Amino acid sequence: MTKDPRPGADQHDVRHMLYPFANPSHLSRHPPLVIERGAGVYVYDGNGKRYLDGQGGLWNVNVGHGREEIKEAIRAQLDRISFYSIFGGTSNRPAIELADVLCRWTAQEGMARVFFSSGGSEANEAAYKLARQYWRQVGQPMRHKIISLKRAYHGVTLGALSANGITPYRAPFEPLLAGFIQVETPHVYRNPFTTDPQALGRLCAQLLEREIEFQGPDSVAAFVAEPVQGAGGVIVPPANFWPLVREVCDRHRVLLIADEVVTGFGRIGSEMGSRLWGVKPDMMVFAKGINSGYIPLGATMANARVCDAFVTTDEALFSSNAFLHGNTYAGHPLACVAAIANLEIIEKEKLHLNAGKVGAYLMERLQSIQDKHRYIGDVRGQGLMIGVELVADKKTRAPLDLSLNVGARISDACREAGVLLRNLADTFIISPPLTFTHANADEMVDAIDDAMSQLD
């Protein structure tokens, strides 16, 4: 094999990979930072430079990097067996045990069973298929439509993408699946209706109800939403929104699906995002924090209402009443042991409480520098899921001209200073490991403060 003559090309091999959501020509000019190692809330590049992991991997490394308990669980499972399928009459011990653990974690929400897959998109896909098949089994096959929110992010596979409400991600793949509809999201900072959060929460729940009535309730299978919208820009709904949504769904017998891929397992300061809003969904969708990304894993959970439709004593119905869906890596033993060890850590160290505490402090510190910098329009979030939106004009909230790349310039300056943050257009996403300390929060805000001062 001939060696690439470009300096650093061996380290930044951008020629042979198509990176997600990235242009290959852009990356050859701005090579990605190659992370080699991680410990706790820090990661290191090939030169040994240390970075504070403000993005927590991709909002998934809830317990931090390099946790011995998880590595040990994976090693021990590798010594037993690395893979065995849970299809067609076989199963494996870690998947069975994790299903028990997850039902315990979600007992308050009433989840009865779990369906395993390999990530958030797959877990959403499974939820929508489960919802559609559920309605078939209970004799209402017309109920097939899935309603979601504008600015929602549910994944990239065609079903999950069809539920997304972020236009640039949808546009290249139109037409998307029929029967997916988006309604208004309760975005307090950016909406044309009202500045009163409670009024906005009520209005958006009413708009959902109007849409269900417009579509015809007998055609609607489910409504899906994130307890706090993530990739749409960290949008925290008013406290009355989810309870009102539950009422709307109940009135029209529509299933309520909570996409807890980011919010599940502590990130927003409660064990579950739905719990923060005091709502019991019919299905919950998990990935990311379920095992802090040590091995890919997704999980779709459903309550007895949904699961019982698949239960029958009539042998003639066994195959038609099976949930006709499944991926090879469903219930992968290595991913499942990693999840069991990960959830034990979250529980033992009460990381959801730490996320609430340190998250509130981090928000306060970010708000304290808001007045000083001309571009910080809004600081919003819940627990350790925080967004900082940059604007051209604070008074009018006029967005920045995206071609100026202000967000990217600030995240580059932070990186230089040893802090990793992700900018989605001009909103910074802050989602560090839930083990973050007050000192880590100070280190991060100081870096952002300096980067902003350079720009100002």
**Residues at the site binding ligand PMP, with contacts judged by CB under 6 A:** 119-121, 124, 153-155, 226, 230-231, 259, 261-262, 287
Residue placing its CB nearer to ligand PMP in the complex, 115 or 153: 153
Shortest CB 20 distance to ligand PMP, Å? 9
Residue placing its CB nearer to ligand PMP in the complex, 255 or 285: 285
Preceding peptide of 141 cis, ω within 30°: no
CB count in 10 Å sphere of residue 169: 15
Rounded distance, CA 116 to CA 126, Å? 9
CA angle 268, 132, 299 (to 5 degrees): 35
Residue placing its CB nearer to ligand PMP in the complex, 262 or 268: 262
Q: At what angle do helices 438-455 and 406-416 cross, to 10 degrees?
A: 130
Shortest CB 285 distance to ligand PMP, Å? 7
Residue placing its CB nearer to ligand PMP in the complex, 231 or 351: 231
Shortest CB 183 distance to ligand PMP, Å? 17
Shortest CB 230 distance to ligand PMP, Å? 4
Phi first, then psi: give them for residue 283, nearest 5 degrees: -140, 150
Residue placing its CB nearer to ligand PMP in the complex, 153 or 294: 153
> Are the beta carbons of 321 and 137 closer than 8 angstroms?
yes
Among 182, 144, 175, CA closest to 158: 175
Residue placing its CB nearer to ligand PMP in the complex, 166 or 419: 166
Side-chain-side CA neighbours of residue 170 (13 Å): 21
Rounded distance, CA 85 to CA 62, Å? 27
**Quick one: which H or E segment has residue 348?**
helix 333-348
CA angle 57, 347, 239 (to 5 degrees): 75
Bridge partners for 379 per DSSP: 388
Per the rule left: phi > 0, alpha: psi between -120 and 50, beta: everything else, 234 is left
Shortest CB 59 distance to ligand PMP, Å? 7
Whole-angstrom CA distances from 203 to 168, 193, 242, 312, 384 are: 26, 9, 12, 41, 28
Residue placing its CB nearer to ligand PMP in the complex, 326 or 418: 326
> Are the beta carbons of 430 and 382 closer than 8 angstroms?
no
Rounded distance, CA 260 to CA 124, Å? 10
Residue placing its CB nearer to ligand PMP in the complex, 212 or 257: 257
DSSP per-residue codes, 236-286: PPPTTHHHHHHHHHHHTT-EEEEE-TTTTTTTTSSSSHHHHTT---SEEEE
Q: Which residue has the tokens 């100002």?
A: 456
Shortest CB 417 distance to ligand PMP, Å? 26
Phi first, then psi: give them for residue 377, nearest 5 degrees: -85, -45
**Quick one: which H or E segment has residue 203?**
helix 197-215
Shortest CB 272 distance to ligand PMP, Å? 13
Shortest CB 384 distance to ligand PMP, Å? 14
Residue placing its CB nearer to ligand PMP in the complex, 224 or 452: 224
Shortest CB 9 distance to ligand PMP, Å? 28
Shortest CB 89 distance to ligand PMP, Å? 29
Residue placing its CB nearer to ligand PMP in the complex, 226 or 271: 226
Shortest CB 300 distance to ligand PMP, Å? 11
By Cβ distance, which residue is nearest to ligand PMP?
Answer: 120
Residue placing its CB nearer to ligand PMP in the complex, 153 or 329: 153
Rounded distance, CA 381 to CA 365, Å? 13
Shortest CB 394 distance to ligand PMP, Å? 28
Alpha carbon 98 to chain centroid, angstroms: 20
Residue placing its CB nearer to ligand PMP in the complex, 238 or 296: 296
